[in-house]
Amino acid sequence: MPTPREQFPKLVEYIKGFRATYLAAAGVKLGLFQKITASPGLTAEQLAADLGLHAPYLLTWCRTAHAMGFLEADEGGRLRLAPGFEPILAEASSPWYYGGALGLIVDYEARDLGRLPELFGSGTAVPFQARGRKFSEQVGAATAGLHTLVARKLLPEVPGLSERLSRGVKALDVGCGCGGFLLALARAFPAGRYTGVDVDRPALTSARKAIRAAGFARRVKVKAASTDGFPLTGPFDLITLVQVFHEIRPDLRPGILGECRRLIAAEGWLVILDETYPSTWADLRAPENSRPVLTAFSELAMGNVIPTQAEQESLLAGAGFSVHTRATVGDGFTLLTAQPR
């Protein structure tokens, strides 16, 4: 039997993680990691003066960030980012960048988690689409690294797809949000034509703006979907859902996959990047499942329900798809590829 003395450090570690998250998010928001990366050797005082911030606060932030291993400091208090953290905390264009996700956690998820006890009585949820444009844009920032990873690495690895992508596909991104993945595809494979659909109209406004700003308006389009279907005619060679499947209301999932089946070309590919909930109580503790387990908890107030592998496969089969590959990618995502039967 473990004793309280043995169990207590577990709780202490979780609380440390909570505080470290806020420390890192503040560092991103205030541009501290970027500034230290650009000018290694700065002291906390110089950093405060350069950025017009309160020196005593800055000093405590720097000391704590050093204690936690985000920064390295010498005895003169000269700072640099701990090696390896530059792309994660200071380089917004890197697929490793986590600044957007940290912002989403402290600005939105924290509020949901704080309200959870009062929601347990009713099971009330505020879905994604009811949260406004700033929220949708923050989600787009949080998923930016994933877009680069899927467009540049994971899709080209799907057998037979790389060559078709280079030749130019007609592709549909379902749940395109602010359009980040459509833009990543259009940059990686300029010969293709890309369409996005979403029920989140504020996100589509941001997507249209980003598409125009990138100069891709002729090759990339977005359209509003209703929960009954997509106002589109196919066929599409490729249909993608990036971090969307678990966000779709469970009763709507068969209909959405039915729309994908209606719109996909005979030899087309359906590619789903999502999370998979463990099927057994024992699997809830497997380290590789910690992402979906914690997503399911932290997105309770959004009404999201993460499907199990059996649920994913029966929905796909029911809509007329055969699953070709299933792989775990990144820190706990599932990549599914399927074709029409």
Reduce the secondary structure of 265-301 to three states and give it as a string: EEEEEEEEEECCECCCCHHHHCHHHHHHHHHHHHCHH
55-68 vs 4-29: helix axis angle to the nearest 10? 130
Q: Do 276 and 335 form a contact (C-beta atoms < 8 A)?
A: no
Residue 341 Cβ vs ligand SAM, minimum distance, rounded to whole Å: 23
Residue number with CB closer to ligand SAM (28 or 178): 178
Q: Residue 79 or residue 301: which is nearer to ligand SAM going by CB?
A: 301
* Minimum CB distance to ligand SAM, residue 275 (Å): 11
Tell me if residue 67 falls in helix, strand or coil: helix
d(CA 245, CA 283) in angstroms, rounded, equals 21
Tell me whether residue 77 or residue 303 sits nearer to ligand SAM (CB atom): 303
What whole-number distance in Å separates Cα of residue 10 and Cα of residue 213? Answer: 48
CB of 182 to ligand SAM, least distance (A): 9
Shortest distance (Å) from residue 59 CB to ligand SAM:
37
Binding site for ligand SAM (CB under 6 A): 128-129, 139-140, 143, 174-177, 180-181, 197-200, 203, 225, 227, 242-244, 247-248, 252, 256
Nearer to ligand SAM, 77 or 258 (CB): 258
Torsion 137-141-143-148 (CA) sign: positive
Minimum CB–partner distance for residue 244 and ligand SAM (Å): 4
Tokens 């099971």 correspond to 123
CB of 88 to ligand SAM, least distance (A): 19
Q: Which is nearer to ligand SAM, 27 or 99 (CB)?
A: 99
Q: For residues 24 and 183, which CB has a smaller minimum distance to ligand SAM in the complex? A: 183
Residue 269 pairs with which residues in a beta bridge? 238
